[in-house]
């Protein structure tokens, strides 16, 4: 065993900093919190190279005296609490007295500050745990903190930073999070290239949300309000038809402090009830107000989780608020519908509802696939005959398949086509030695498999130019995901151009996934990509292929024509691994006659 020794101050500082400062966005978070605690009504954030080179946060808050400024950046110094009792009723965002110290330990820090009592301000430069220079300066009351060369003395951390754009988007996310919480404060975020976003205090509450959740998202919000004993809930929830693939759009605040809680996210989903599909989430902005002593905010190093004294009552109140908001919304919709129906009764009689055109995707997937895969790809020496019996429950294709492993002449796979007319023939006329099955095919899983294998053939993927390019407005998280997967998507046929920081134009898509050429599906695809935990390049490719395959596949519940079913089964049986979808779930259930006999106890 090594001998135990005391760590040096410098090392202690860097270890502590590791918990608080993970990237430029965490610096921005701490500095914004300090400005809010100083009662600023305006906070300006400027970053260079995604915050890696320089972060400047200026506020017009209370400022500090020269004396206070000289100690504010040291460890365990705070003006916000003074006794253990205070710790259990925290009213400020900061309280630990370690944020500035942590930032100072891993960067070059400048503090410029002046309180309203002082004639002049003070400018301090801090490096390697000490003040290296100090001077008097003229300035308005308030504070400006400049953080330069983040992680210059911790190369391991520096290495883990992402591209400038990704780091910037993380910062945007943080600023927006606080801008939602503090509508009375003016926030400005800019980079060396110009203004990114300004949130004015007097703007309409919902309009202010557009930079975070996009115009469509903001338009979809229903207002909530609820009070139950000590708990008050306000905020917004999206209309039932909005279905997001991630919980990223659920913003939780307690006493205007942002936090995350899996339990509450689950409770919100439960309260949405059946309107929400499996694995989907709504958009929600939830402000919880409780007495300060009812919540412990000192449970997480970066203060992103909290503990409620009575979590059950919080969850019940949120569920109540969500249900009440939906009930009001339904009532409202019903009234609108009634008005609309009365007006539309006559036109309805002549308007043909028609069947919606089948998405072209599977046809294209199959054609592209067939074109790029010579028939020999099917297990050699296997001959497949297919007969479609029909579709069941709008989700499953029932058919009869016969596979012969005997030697044969000619093509191993014979394209089956629907009979011209029902012929009355009800079997495949299978020869002795052939293995014949009744099959139940999951139409969605099968299409996923077909699209996935077509896409795997990268260089042969055909791209489809869009006549009208899609213009998509993304949230910071989606834009971050897009950035991460951009090259891969490009190699698959997605031509994407920048059109502003978080607006992009999509000019082409892979033709096997032409169904993704709608804003909603494109964004859904990004959301699913963002959820993945892919580590290396190979996992990423897999993740992208599976996601595109899933989003472009025919959904379960969709009626199919006989031709379509033949197309799907033909293409499926040409796949290398026809019997599982890319996620590993089965595509086909097979029953031989003897299996059925056994089930019927014959
Ligand atoms: N922008 C600011 N305006 C006025 N005072 C500030 C500002 N930033 C920091 N301070 C002062 O410096 C002190 C130390 O700040 P620091 O962020 O390190 O700790 P904290 O906010 O008290 O706690 P935490 O570590 O939880 O953030 C604060 O308590 C506050 O008094
Ligand atoms: Mg602080």
Q: What share of the chain is helix, strand, coil (3-state, %, to 5)?
A: 40, 25, 35
Ligand 1 binding residues, C-beta < 6 A: 30, 33-35, 38, 59, 61-64, 72, 77-80, 94-101, 143
* Alpha-helix runs per DSSP H in 458-587: 476-491, 519-531, 537-552, 562-573
The closest residue, in CA terms, to atom 1 on ligand 1 is 35
Q: Among 115-124, 281-290, 349-358, 462-471, whose mean pLDDT is lowest?
A: 349-358
Residue 221, classed as helix, strand or coil, is strand
Say whether pLDDT at 88 is over 70.
Answer: yes
Q: Are 370 and 376 in contact (CB under 8 A)?
A: no
Q: Rounded to whole angstroms, how far apart are CA atoms 429 and 327? A: 58
Say whether pLDDT at 427 is over 80.
Answer: no
Say whether pLDDT at 303 is over 90.
Answer: no
Q: Rounded to whole angstroms, how far apart are CA atoms 258 and 330? A: 30
DSSP 499: -
Strands 307-308 and 284-289, by their bridges, are unpaired
Domain boundaries, the chain: 9-199, 207-329, 361-420+429-602
Residue 411, classed as helix, strand or coil, is coil
Q: Are 288 and 322 in contact (CB under 8 A)?
A: no
Q: Which of 488, 524, 518, 491 has its CA nearest to residue 506?
A: 518
- Looking at per-residue confidence, does 366 or 267 come out higher? 267
Say whether pLDDT at 571 is over 50.
Answer: yes
Predicted confidence (pLDDT) per residue in 327-380, tens digit: 888 877 777 666 655 544 433 322 222 222 223 333 343 344 334 433 333 333
Alpha carbon of 33 to ligand 2 centroid (Å): 6
What pLDDT is recorded for position 153? 93
Predicted confidence (pLDDT) per residue in 131-187, tens digit: 999 999 999 999 999 999 999 999 989 999 999 988 998 998 899 889 889 988 999
Residue 385 — very low, low, confident or very high, per pLDDT cuts 50/70/90? confident
Predicted confidence (pLDDT) per residue in 57-68, tens digit: 999 999 999 999
Q: Which of 117, 187, 103 has its CA nearest to residue 145?
A: 103
What pLDDT is recorded for position 377? 32
How big is the CA angle at 585 (ends 580 and 587), to the nearest 5 degrees? 50
Confidence (pTM): 0.65
User: 207-329 — its CATH code?
Assistant: 3.30.230.10
Q: Rounded to whole angstroms, how far apart are CA atoms 533 and 551? A: 18
Strands 396-404 and 503-510, by their bridges, are unpaired
Q: Are 218 and 208 in contact (CB under 8 A)?
A: no
Q: Are 392 and 443 in contact (CB under 8 A)?
A: no
What pLDDT is recorded for position 378? 34
The closest residue, in CA terms, to atom 6 on ligand 1 is 34
- Looking at per-residue confidence, does 507 or 425 come out higher? 507
Tracing tokens 């919100």 back to the chain, one arrives at 268
Strands of 142-148's sheet in order across: 130-137, 121-127, 108-114, 142-148, 54-59, 42-48, 186-191, 194-199
Environment class of 544 (CB within 10 Å of its CB; exposed 0-12, middle 13-18, buried 19+): buried
Q: Rounded to whole angstroms, how far apart are CA atoms 525 and 489? A: 11
Q: Rounded to whole angstroms, how far apart are CA atoms 485 and 506? A: 14
Q: Are 569 and 399 in contact (CB under 8 A)?
A: yes
Pocket probe mutation, ligand 1, options 19, 20, 36, 37, max atoms within 8 Å of Cβ: 37
Residue 402, classed as helix, strand or coil, is strand
The three-state DSSP-derived secondary structure of 84-120 is: HHHHHCCCCCCCCCCHHHHHHHCCEEEEEEECCCCCC
What pLDDT is recorded for position 161? 93
Which ligand has the shortest distance to the CA of 20? 1
User: Domain 361-420+429-602: what homologous superfamily?
Assistant: MutL, C-terminal domain, regulatory subdomain (3.30.1370.100)
Alpha carbon of 409 to ligand 2 centroid (Å): 78
User: 9-199 — its CATH code?
Assistant: 3.30.565.10
The closest residue, in CA terms, to atom 4 on ligand 1 is 63
The closest residue, in CA terms, to atom 19 on ligand 1 is 97
Please, what's the b/e burial string for 154-163 (b: 16 or more CB within 10 A of its CB; e: otherwise)?
A: beebeeebbe
């Amino acid at each position: 065993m090594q001998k135990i020794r005391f760590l040096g101050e410098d090392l202690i500082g860097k270890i502590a900093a590791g918990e608080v400062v993970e990237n430029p966005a965490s610096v921005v978070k701490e500095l914004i919190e300090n400005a809010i605690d100083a009662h600023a009504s305006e906070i300006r954030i400027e970053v260079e190279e995604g915050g890696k080179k320089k972060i400047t946060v200026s506020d017009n808050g209370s400022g500090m005296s020269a004396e206070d400024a000289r100690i504010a950046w040291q460890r365990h110094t705070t003006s916000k609490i003074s006794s253990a009792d205070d710790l259990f009723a925290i009213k400020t965002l900061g309280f630990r007295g370690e944020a500035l110290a942590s930032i100072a330990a891993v960067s070059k820090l400048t503090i410029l500050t002046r309180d309203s009592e002082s004639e002049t301000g003070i400018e301090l430069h801090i490096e390697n745990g000490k003040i290296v220079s100090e001077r008097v300066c003229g300035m308005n009351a308030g504070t400006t903190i400049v953080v330069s060369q983040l992680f210059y003395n911790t190369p391991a951390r520096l290495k883990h930073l992402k591209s400038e754009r990704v780091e910037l988007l993380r910062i945007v996310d943080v600023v927006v999070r606080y801008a939602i919480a503090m509508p009375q404060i003016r926030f400005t975020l800019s980079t060396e290239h110009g203004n990114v976003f300004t949130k004015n205090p007097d703007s309409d509450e919902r309009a202010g949300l557009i930079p975070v959740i996009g115009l469509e998202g903001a338009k979809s919000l229903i207002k909530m309000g609820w009070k139950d004993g000590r708990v008050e809930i306000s905020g917004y929830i999206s209309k039932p038809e909005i279905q997001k693939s991630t919980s990223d759009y659920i913003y939780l605040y307690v006493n205007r402090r942002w936090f995350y809680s899996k339990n509450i996210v689950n409770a919100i989903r439960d309260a949405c009830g059946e309107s929400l599909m499996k694995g989907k989430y709504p958009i929600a902005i939830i402000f919880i107000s409780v007495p300060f002593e009812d919540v412990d905010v000192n449970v997480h190093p970066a203060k992103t989780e909290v503990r409620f004294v009575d979590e059950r009552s919080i969850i019940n109140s949120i569920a109540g608020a969500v249900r009440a908001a939906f009930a009001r919304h339904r009532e409202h919709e019903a009234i609108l519908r009634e008005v609309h129906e009365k007006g539309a009764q006559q036109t309805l009689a002549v308007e043909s509802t028609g069947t919606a055109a089948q998405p072209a995707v599977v046809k294209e997937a199959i054609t592209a696939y067939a074109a790029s895969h010579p028939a020999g790809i099917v297990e050699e020496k296997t001959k497949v005959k297919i007969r479609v019996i029909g579709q069941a429950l709008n989700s499953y294709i029932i058919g009869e398949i016969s596979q012969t492993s005997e030697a044969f002449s000619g093509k191993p796979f014979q394209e089956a086509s629907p009979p011209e007319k029902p012929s009355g023939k009800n079997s495949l006329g299978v020869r002795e030695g052939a293995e014949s099955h009744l099959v139940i095919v999951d139409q969605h899983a099968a299409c996923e498999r077909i699209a996935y294998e077509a896409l795997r053939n990268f260089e042969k993927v055909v791209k489809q130019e869009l006549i009208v390019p899609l213009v998509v407005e993304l949230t910071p998280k989606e834009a971050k995901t897009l950035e991460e997967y951009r090259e891969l998507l490009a190699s698959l046929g997605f031509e994407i151009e920048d059109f502003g920081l978080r607006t992009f134009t999509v000019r082409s898509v892979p033709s096997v996934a032409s169904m993704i050429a709608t804003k909603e599906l494109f964004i859904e695809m990004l959301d699913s990509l963002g959820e993945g935990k892919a580590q290396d390049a190979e996992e990423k490719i897999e993740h992208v292929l599976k996601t595109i395959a899933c989003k472009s596949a025919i959904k379960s519940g969709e009626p199919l024509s006989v031709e379509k079913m033949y197309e799907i089964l033909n293409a499926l049986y040409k796949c290398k691994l026809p019997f599982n979808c890319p996620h590993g779930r089965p595509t086909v259930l097979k029953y031989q006659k003897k299996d059925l006999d056994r089930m019927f106890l014959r």
